[in-house]
Structure 1
Amino acid sequence: MNKVNIGGVPEHFNLAWYLTLKNGEYKDKNINLRWKDYPGGTGAMTKALRSGEIDMAVILTEGIVKDIIEGNPSKIVQTFVETPLIWGIHVAADSKFKSVEDIKGTRAAISRYGSGSHLMAYINAKNHAWDLKEDLNFEVIKNLDGAIKGLTDEEADYFMWEKFTTKPLVDNGVFRRIDNCPSPWPCFVIAVRQEFIDEHPEDLKTILEIINNTTSDFKSIPSIDKTIANRYEQELDDVQEWLSLTEWSQDVMSEDTLSHVQDQLFDLNIISEKVPYSELIHEI
């Protein structure tokens, strides 16, 4: 049985992987798929792909595009979530900041440089016509727990993270959300190390067939909203809203979409060059 290591954030987007693992669907195909949670997000996963700690990652589009261009020996094999990620912009509950304009020039808490929370701070700044050199400052806080401490202890001023994941912290009076910032592209892709693509093409194809079969019918799974609410400690109304806004994908990201991603990242000086589609994508 071939062992395959895969990583992703411990969030509701990835429940389909948990369900297929729980059902033993990979073992039935002689694949020992091992899931590892990465609470630190994209930056932690790009590092794990580079080191060979994991073979595959369910990862933010902007983060893996940046890291492949910077030498990560991986390729995007398909889009996983087609819809944008809705990033909430959070401050401490008792913070003096009331609006996005108030946080201009203050300290953004980020999990790592090159992470989604880092890159989306640039997108938010661009949306509000800030000076990208003068109005952006960063404090590395590693993960969501670090952000709670960082904002509460005034080590950082605001934090961008997926809106529904942080909603319980808003409800509990830890954070206050002052705005939202949707990503301007499909949010999650599946990235795979080139070595694994070359050496295990049939296993990769099988893994994608299994997960795609589940995500294509995900919303019709009986009581899926209640399952998500219980597992991720979310309010049922919030889960139902999230499900209504979220669409999974079983397709390869188009060249036009990936060009748009690269154009935006290049304009923000997040990437130093744009590369051909074939250097980012591997079509199964």
Structure 2
Amino acid sequence: MTLRIGYVREHFASPLLQFAEADGEKTFTLVECPSGTGQLISRLTNNEIDVAIALTDPLISGIANGSKAYKLVGSFVSTPLNWAVITGKESKYNSISDLQDSTLGISRYGSGSFTMAYVMALQQGWPLDNLQFQVNNDIRGLLDSVNDGSTSAFMWEWFTTKPFVDAGEARFIGSVPTPWPSWLIAAHPERARPEAVRAFLDGLTSYVNNFDLEESRVAKNVAFIEDKFGYPEEDIQAWLKTVRYPPSCSEIPTEVITNTLSVLEKAGVVKKPEGGFSVDIFVNNDIVNLT
């Protein structure tokens, strides 16, 4: 049985897409989840995928808040994600500080757009109890909401939203980088066979390592991303200067989990149990190596 790998079709997924083209669905199939990590977690829960390549914070907060649908099994992107703060083309909002006490758009509760709204509020010193949200499912719904005035702004990855800003559909009013490495890999603890997941992670590591080579960044990566996503060459080159992948997709630094939990606790997204969190509840030790 081939693994069902859930992913978001963004430029970050380029090494995965290269791997998938070479594999030809022999050992895994890709399941696109355009709404992001909230949708990935939902599909893990509903037996629609076996493995998810998803954002660090919602994966960790999901387990911390009681989800049994997955455990962490690996790493995918080791650099932070730059979350753009986006508002409507003619809205009254011109800076992050203007957004206090307004309604923010999110894709789903528990998604990256949701958890990062709390991180932004924490940085701004806003009362966390006052945050208000409207669920808009995907990038199109989020863009519509800031332009019809039902939300003030939303947060999404900078380069993914830049084409909409360039086209005059929305405006950037700030950005909030994640205080943690941006992407991890999770798998259902029972449906995803450890040997199959380990083989997938080994294969993915080779494509990630090749993508990370300086010679790949100069030409091959640019051409691949331009072909798959249609981004302007200058945007691709700018993004490639900011992103790094892990040397092994089968490893997670322990501090990634503990540091992320610390920020999420301060932001009010998770509540520390009596005695604190045990890192072991977050990972499948049969697959991942904690470093």
> What TM-score does the superposition give when structure 1 sets the normalisation length?
0.93
Write out per-residue CA displacement over residues 223-265 of structure 1, whole angstroms, 9 at most, x where no aligned residue: 2112212321211111111111000112522222211111111
Q: How many angstroms apart in 2 are the aligned matches of 1:248 and 1:180?
A: 22
Judge which range, 212-221 or 87-96, deviates more.
212-221
| Correspondence for 1:91 | 87
**1:151 counterpart = 2:150:** no
Is the CA contact (8 Å cut-off) linking 1:25 and 1:210 kept in structure 2? no
**1:72 counterpart = 2:74:** no
Is the CA contact (8 Å cut-off) linking 1:8 and 1:59 kept in structure 2? yes
**1:161 counterpart = 2:161:** no
Amino acid at match of 2:258: S
Q: How many angstroms apart in 1 are the aligned matches of 2:158 and 2:229?
A: 13
| Correspondence for 2:221 | 224
Q: How does 1:139-218 map to 2 (within 5 A)?
A: 139-197=134-192, 200-218=193-211
* Structure 1 residue 193, shift from structure 2 partner: 0.6
Is the CA contact (8 Å cut-off) linking 2:83 and 2:178 kept in structure 1? yes
Q: How many angstroms apart in 1 are the aligned matches of 2:93 and 2:147?
A: 13
4+ residue stretches of structure 1 with deviation over 3 A?
219-222
* Structure 1 residue 25, shift from structure 2 partner: 6.4
Is the CA contact (8 Å cut-off) linking 1:91 and 1:175 kept in structure 2? yes
| Correspondence for 2:129 | 133
User: Structure 2, unaligned stretches of length 5 or more?
Assistant: none
Q: How many angstroms apart in 2 are the aligned matches of 1:26 and 1:201?
A: 19
Q: How many angstroms apart in 2 are the aligned matches of 1:237 and 1:101?
A: 30
Q: How many angstroms apart in 1 are the aligned matches of 2:16 and 2:67?
A: 28
The DSSP-based 3-state class of the residue aligned with 1:194 is: coil
* Structure 1 residue 72, shift from structure 2 partner: 2.6
Amino acid at match of 2:171: R
Is the CA contact (8 Å cut-off) linking 2:53 and 2:183 kept in structure 1? yes
* Structure 1 residue 26, shift from structure 2 partner: 6.2
Is the CA contact (8 Å cut-off) linking 2:102 and 2:132 kept in structure 1? yes
| Correspondence for 2:265 | 266
Q: How many angstroms apart in 2 are the aligned matches of 1:229 and 1:97?
A: 32
* Structure 1 residue 23, shift from structure 2 partner: 1.4
Query: What is the aligned-residue RMSD (CA, Å)?
Result: 1.4
Q: How many angstroms apart in 2 are the aligned matches of 1:20 and 1:71?
A: 29
The DSSP-based 3-state class of the residue aligned with 1:260 is: helix
Q: How many angstroms apart in 2 are the aligned matches of 1:35 and 1:275?
A: 33
* Structure 1 residue 66, shift from structure 2 partner: 1.4
Is the CA contact (8 Å cut-off) linking 2:118 and 2:268 kept in structure 1? no
Write out per-residue CA displacement over residues 90-109 of structure 1, whole angstroms, 9 at most, x where no aligned residue: 00111111111111111110
**1:235 counterpart = 2:235:** no
Amino acid at match of 1:209: D
Q: How many angstroms apart in 1 are the aligned matches of 2:115 and 2:195?
A: 34
| Correspondence for 1:277 | 279
The DSSP-based 3-state class of the residue aligned with 1:184 is: coil
Q: How does 1:11-30 map to 2 (within 5 A)?
A: 11-24=10-23, 27=26
Q: How many angstroms apart in 2 are the aligned matches of 1:129 and 1:115?
A: 22
> What TM-score does the superposition give when structure 2 sets the normalisation length?
0.91
Is the CA contact (8 Å cut-off) linking 1:20 and 1:211 kept in structure 2? yes
Identity across matched positions, percent: 30
Write out per-residue CA displacement over residues 85-128 of structure 1, whole angstroms, 9 at most, x where no aligned residue: 00000001111111111111111100001110011000011111
Q: How many angstroms apart in 2 are the aligned matches of 1:164 and 1:192?
A: 27
Q: How many angstroms apart in 1 are the aligned matches of 2:195 and 2:110?
A: 31
Q: How many angstroms apart in 1 are the aligned matches of 2:30 and 2:277?
A: 30
The DSSP-based 3-state class of the residue aligned with 1:23 is: helix
User: Structure 1, unaligned stretches of length 5 or more?
Assistant: none
* Structure 1 residue 4, shift from structure 2 partner: 1.1
The DSSP-based 3-state class of the residue aligned with 1:133 is: helix
Write out per-residue CA displacement over residues 110-149 of structure 1, whole angstroms, 9 at most, x where no aligned residue: 0001110011000011111111112x21111000010111
Q: How many angstroms apart in 1 are the aligned matches of 2:237 and 2:117?
A: 27
